[in-house]
């Protein structure tokens, strides 16, 4: 199973330093929450990790290799970065057929992941008519299609109803229990507290804290209190 | 909803490579309505245009009479809307990734962006060729129908008609690939599509009208010349009716258009294709 490793990552957009010397690890068999206020650099870090954004310095690897160097990336990493990233005129099934072709995944998996995501009844509907929650579910179905070892998810609970959030929690816990590596960014702290084993907290592009949730909350404070304390200290 | 289990995907030969990317792009194109809609536009617009022109043949300011070689040429090889639509199709194949924010998923599936661009250019060429074929078949059918209904005989040989058909398909294919490159460079679908119509219908006509010797080298004009369209039979503008300049030979025009696509692709690969996808 693959470890995610971030070392000395730096990314600037003009005068703005979005990621500033960030380093952390995400180990297999765990669900790791990637937390931080808006603009903390979470999405930029995930996009660098996935080869979509070029870092100015540092490395971001999965199993010791950059994403672009993975021989079969979809079989190794499943990612959901934006729920809107589907062609509105394509059906959910057609979207998964494209993904299955790209990954050379067994096409019989399409019905499996549609069912897993609770979209079996909407498989032949155009994505343009989907709610945000349905798009999130389709994103997760797409990510799981090629049976990857690593899941990288950016705000996957956005738009999900309570039943969907519960489903997502079970999905991530089940994935990690099978030995998978999960990195999930979120700003829903109460939800994260119920789902993750470890957290990486960033603020203004810098690492604020990293480690098991149990350690972070050892003083009796909840994750939410610990988060606000840490990010408040970061702004001083 | 099923049990939360994560079955290992059935092992199969993971054949990687460029052919897989091309198949993926074809599936993307054929799984939405846009490609079919553009083909329908070709099949609808070409007979309307060709019928209007054929009904004006022999009249003042119209095409030459239908019993002449010039008249039949202008009708069968003149309305080349399919070639403009071929460019639009190519533009939508590449710029659509940014319009619909699907570039993220595309590059996650295929991190080598230059190969993605190349695969899209191939699919743009295939789609362009389909537009060219549909346009030519329609124009030929309408032209032959008008010629026959007016009681004239066809004065153009079958070999020439076949050459025009081949030229229309090849020219539209090359324009489809150029459209993909243009869409990669511009990224904004609306701006790129407006640019296509502005360039083909206005700018080339304007440049061709002002600088006659440059006309064979204007890309859209070179492509239409492949299809047998005489220089001077532009759909609109100052270049319409101007003659006296020879088009590029077939092979030279093909090489010229392929070079434009290649140079554009190299520029895109060095610039816009490398940009961060945020």
Hey, where are the domains in chain A?
4-235
Neighbours of B108 (CB within 10 A): 26
Nearest to A183, CA basis, from A56, A13, A90, A61? A61
Chain B residues with CB under 8 Å of a chain A CB are 1-2, 4-10, 12-16, 20, 23-24, 27-28, 31-34, 96, 100-102, 104-105, 107-112, 274, 276-278
Q: Indicate the helix (H) or strand (E) that contains A216.
A: helix A213-216
- Residues of chain B short of pLDDT 50, as ranges, are 1-15, 237-239
- Candidate from A71, A90, A101 with C-beta closest to B32: A90
A197-211 per-position pLDDT tens digit: 999 999 999 999 999
Spatial CB neighbours of A28, under 8 Å, sequence gap ≥ 6: A1, A2, A3, A149, A179, A180, A181
Residues of chain A with pLDDT under 70: 233-236
Q: Tell me whether 0.90 is exceeded by the ipTM.
A: yes
The pLDDT value given to residue B236: 52
User: Rounded to a whole number, what is the distance in Å from the CA of A201 to chain B's nearest CA?
Assistant: 21
- Structure letter (DSSP) for residue A197: S
Tens-digit pLDDT profile for residues B92-126: 999 999 999 999 999 999 999 999 999 999 999 99
Distance in Å from the first CA to the final CA of chain A:
39
Q: Are A152 and A78 in contact (CB under 8 A)?
A: yes
Indicate the residue of A79, A98, A115 with minimum beta-carbon distance to B24. Answer: A98
Residue B232's pLDDT is what?
Answer: 65
Residues B205, B234 contacting (CB under 8 angstroms): yes
- Count of H-run helices and E-run strands, chain A: 9, 9
Assign B150 to helix, strand or coil. coil
Which residue in B has a C-alpha nearest to residue A105's C-alpha?
B9
* Residue in A closest to B34 by C-alpha: A89
Burial class (CB in 10 A: 0-12, 13-18, 19+), B243: exposed
pLDDT of residue A51: 96
For residue B263, CA distances in Å to B119, B185, B225, B266, B270 come to 16, 12, 21, 5, 11
CB contact under 8 A, A99 and B105: yes
Which one of A79, A81, A116 has the shortest CB-CB distance to B2? A116
Test the A interface: residue of B22, B108, B275 with most A CBs within 10 Å: B108
CATH class of A4-235: alpha beta
Place of tokens 């640019």: B195
Residue A64 in 3-state DSSP? Answer: coil
Residue with tokens 């294709």: B273
Measured distance CA(A5)–CA(A20) in Å, rounded: 16
The SS3 call for residue B23 is: helix
> Between chains, do A108 and B10 touch, taking CB under 8 Å as contact?
yes
Put simply, the answer to whether A105 touches B33 (Cβ < 8 Å) is no
Say yes or no for a CB contact (<8 Å) between A115 and B2.
Answer: yes
Tell me how long chain A is. 236
Answer yes or no: do B24 and A101 touch at CB < 8 A: yes
CA distance B264 to chain A (A): 22
Domain ranges within chain B, ordered by starting residue: 19-274
Residue of B277, B159, B272, B166 whose CA lies nearest to B223: B166
pLDDT value at position B10? 41
A174–B5 C-beta distance less than 8 A: yes
d(CA A185, CA B127): 40
Nearest residue to A132 (alpha-carbon basis) of A193, A100, A86, A75: A86
Query: Which tokens in the block code for residue B6?
Result: 């994560």
A198 SS3 class: strand
Percent of the residues in chain A that have a pLDDT greater than 90, as a whole number: 80
Test A85 with B105 for CB contact under 8 angstroms. Answer: yes
pLDDT at position B31: 96
């Amino acid at each position: 199973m693959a470890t995610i490793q971030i070392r000395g990552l730096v990314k600037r957009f003009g005068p703005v330093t979005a990621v500033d010397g960030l380093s952390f690890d995400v180990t297999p068999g765990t669900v790791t929450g990637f937390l931080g206020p808006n603009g903390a650099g979470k999405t930029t870090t995930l996009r660098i990790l996935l080869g979509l954004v070029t870092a100015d310095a540092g490395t971001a690897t999965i199993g010791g290799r950059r994403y672009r160097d993975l021989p079969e990336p979809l079989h190794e990493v499943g990612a959901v970065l934006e729920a809107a990233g589907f062609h509105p005129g394509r059906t959910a099934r057609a979207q998964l057929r494209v993904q299955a072709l790209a990954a050379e995944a067994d096409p019989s998996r399409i019905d499996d992941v549609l069912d897993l995501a609770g979209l079996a009844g909407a498989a032949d509907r155009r994505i343009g008519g989907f709610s945000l929650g349905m798009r999130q579910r389709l994103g997760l179905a797409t990510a799981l299609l090629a049976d990857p070892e690593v899941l990288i998810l950016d705000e996957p609970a956005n738009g999900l109803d309570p039943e969907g959030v519960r489903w997502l929690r079970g999905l991530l816990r089940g994935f990690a229990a099978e030995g998978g590596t999960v990195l999930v960014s979120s700003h829903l702290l109460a939800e994260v507290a119920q789902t993750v084993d470890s957290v990486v907290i960033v603020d203004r592009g810098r690492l604020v804290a990293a480690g098991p949730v149990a350690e972070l909350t050892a003083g009796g404070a909840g994750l939410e209190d610990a988060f606000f304390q840490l990010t408040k200290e970061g702004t001083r | 909803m099923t049990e939360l289990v994560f079955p290992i995907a059935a092992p199969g030969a993971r054949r990687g490579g460029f052919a897989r990317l091309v198949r993926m792009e074809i599936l993307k194109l054929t799984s939405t309505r846009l490609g079919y809609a553009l083909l329908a536009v070709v099949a609808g617009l070409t007979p309307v245009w060709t019928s209007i022109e054929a009904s004006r043949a022999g009249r003042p300011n119209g095409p030459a009479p239908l019993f002449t070689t010039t008249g039949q040429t202008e009708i069968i090889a003149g309305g080349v809307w399919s070639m403009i639509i071929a460019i639009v199709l190519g533009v939508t194949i590449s710029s659509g990734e940014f319009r619909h924010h699907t570039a993220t998923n595309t590059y996650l599936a295929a991190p080598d962006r230059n190969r993605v661009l190349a695969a899209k250019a191939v699919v743009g060429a295939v789609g362009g060729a389909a537009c060219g074929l549909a346009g030519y078949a329609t124009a030929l059918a309408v032209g032959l129908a008008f010629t026959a209904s007016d009681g004239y005989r066809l004065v153009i040989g079958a070999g020439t008609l076949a050459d025009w058909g081949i030229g229309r398909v090849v020219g539209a294919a090359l324009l489809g690939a150029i459209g993909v490159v243009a869409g990669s460079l511009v990224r904004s679908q609306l701006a790129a599509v407006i640019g296509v119509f502005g360039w083909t219908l206005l700018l080339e006509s304007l440049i061709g009208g002002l600088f006659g010797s440059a006309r064979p080298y204007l890309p859209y004009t070179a492509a239409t010349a492949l299809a047998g369209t005489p220089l001077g039979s532009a759909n609109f503008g100052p270049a319409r009716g101007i003659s006296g300049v020879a088009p590029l030979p077939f092979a030279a025009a093909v090489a010229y258009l392929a070079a434009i696509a290649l140079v554009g692709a190299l520029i895109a690969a060095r610039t816009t294709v490398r940009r961060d996808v945020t």
